[in-house]
Amino acid sequence: MQTENAIMPELDLKSPIEITGSEAVMKALVAEDVEIIFGYPGGAIMPIYDALYNYRDQLEHILVRHEQGGVHAAQGYARTSGKIGTVFATSGPGATNLVTGLADALIDSTPLVCITGQVFAHLLGTDAFQEIDVINITTPVTKWNYQITDAHEIPAILAKAYYIAGSGRPGPVLIDITKNAQVQKFDFTGYNRCNHIRSYRPKPIVRKEYVVSAADMINNAVRPLVIFGQGVILGRAEKEFTSFIEKAGLPAAWTILGLSALPTEHPLNVGMLGMHGNYGPNVLTNECDVLIAVGMRFDDRVTGRLDRYAKQAKVIHLDIDPAEIDKNVKADIPVWGDCKETLPLITELLKKNSHTSWVNKFNECMDKEIEVVIQDELNPSTPILTMGEVIKELNLLTNGEAVIVTDVGQHQMVACRYAKFNKSNSSITSGGLGTMGFALPAAIGAKYGAKDRTVIAVIGDGGVQMTIQELGTIMQNNINVKIMILNNQFLGMVRQWQELFLERRYSFVDIESPDYVTVAKGYRIEGNSVTERSALREAIKKMLDHDGAYLLEVMVGKENNVFPMVPQGSGVGEIRLK
């Protein structure tokens, strides 16, 4: 794409000043209102770090312990703050260590700008020390990437990077800057933020005829069901969404990335979709007559087998990304556009309605799920602690006001199922990629994005060992995050599948852990370990009340399973309660 005509005048200097490419990077970050950078220095990015030294009063930098931790921290920051996360890394292994986080951010639509250093331009292609073709490596996992070899390009390219990352459907952008471009001097004429790029349309044009058709279909529906995802949060359309469902009395179910867009206790919130979602939303998806999808992409973990998914329903799909329309589920009415704009247009045309008997069917399904699953999970009769009762106690002590950052595994599904939220941007997790090791660094970033809120990382004993070195980042920066490890001494989700579908052939899922409290102590972080129910509430309270970071390990049942469950290869109507 060409950059001509892409940059709108904003802050032009009266006369050019001679600066280095590295200082131009700093001026760009300040102009883009960047608050914080997560990064790790190295040889190829050293000139940028040298320039950063003079901008310490304007740009806060957090030294992570691994570049993957830097990306996940930036993701957590972006998800709680609603801003664009910024990451620095050096060339070679520094750059390749970003790849998992970039892939995670792309599939979960998280806006990031990652700036990597690169070897001198004349060394490109020579297999120089720590040279890697980061552009080709990251092309599949970025919304856009670009390599700068001349300092003159830096202002315009970084303006373009921040615009692309944050506009439309957000995503990660990577800018690779060769070392010669970092040290090169050029005449800097000012930095102008970008708000338009020819051939790039971040928001599709709303077609009013589809809005009218969608409203008519909803008005005539007998059994409508809304399923919503993170698009509501990314569009900052929580109020518009609530007005939409309340006017027409529409039951609404959420994907794990949509969690917290609607308060958990809202009477029209009927629960979680998908493999470990609630019984009602899954079963009744195949009974609704109109299915309204808002800001979600019909992921396979939500739909199960597509040939058995909502075949009886007319489908209305609202999404900002036209590529998601008809990708997995055919839409009878596609409503392209930002849901903050399209939802009010539809709501205005809706008739006031309640659908009381239909909503009651979800309540009846929940009663059945409580009887078969939830009662034993939240109020177990055995002395063995369950993950669910830990989350229940957390709810009682946080009143749904905390930010909960989850890793990937059984604890993730349990936390998503049972955690209570009153505010949006409160549930932070790795959804599409399912990245173990996400939670600890993401919680660091989440705290910087929500400084006045309690941030709790809920992690399994497998995932925490993947990025446990980020305890050093917490230690050095005195970051007040609470770390709760639910330790079942297994790679629990894999073990559950092996139990249910592979005749309990437990192949390499029995994982040993260090003494986490002792490890935390080594990082000057207070901690405790709990094995008894009688000590659980007080231990969680102590963690929450502690002034500073705190690690709490809770020993839970080794072979407890997460139900309900839609077995892989099954339809959502085949969900198992036990």
Any idea which residues carry the catalytic annotation?
67, 129-130, 179, 493
Cβ atoms 112, 87 nearer than 8 A: yes
User: In degrees to the nearest 10, what's the CA dihedral of 69, 74, 76, 77?
Assistant: 140
Concatenated DSSP letters for 18-63?
A: EEEHHHHHHHHHHHTT--EEEE---GGGHHHHHHHGGGTTT-EEEE
Specify the DSSP class assigned to residue 371: I
Compute φ and ψ for 337, nearest 5 degrees.
Answer: 135, 170
State how far the Cα of 158 lies from the Cα of 22, in Å rounded to an integer. Answer: 12
Query: Which of these, 214, 359, 216, 210, lies nearest to 288 by C-alpha position?
Result: 359
User: For 139-221, where are the alpha helices, taking DSSP H only?
Assistant: 154-166, 179-183, 208-219
Q: Both tokens of residue 402?
A: 């905390």
CB contact set of 371 (below 8 Å; sequence gap of 6+):
none
Q: Compute CA 443 distance to the chain's CA centroid, rounded to the nearest angstrom.
A: 11
Handedness of CA 300, 301, 306, 310 (dihedral sign): negative
CB contact set of 232 (below 8 Å; sequence gap of 6+):
238, 241, 258, 261, 262, 294, 295, 339
The number of C-alpha atoms within 13 Å of 243 and in the hemisphere containing its C-beta is: 16
Query: Which of these, 298, 286, 361, 377, lies nearest to 571 by C-alpha position?
Result: 286
Helix (H) or strand (E) holding 86: strand 85-89
Compute φ and ψ for 396, nearest 5 degrees.
Answer: -65, -35
Specify the DSSP class assigned to residue 460: E
State how far the Cα of 466 lies from the Cα of 435, in Å rounded to an integer. Answer: 10
Order of strands across the sheet with 455-460?
427-428, 403-406, 455-460, 482-487, 550-555, 526-530
State how far the Cα of 154 lies from the Cα of 58, in Å rounded to an integer. Answer: 19
Cβ atoms 404, 418 nearer than 8 A: no
Cβ atoms 275, 301 nearer than 8 A: yes
At position 496, the amino acid (one-letter code) is: Q
Query: Which of these, 470, 453, 445, 567, lies nearest to 525 by C-alpha position?
Result: 470
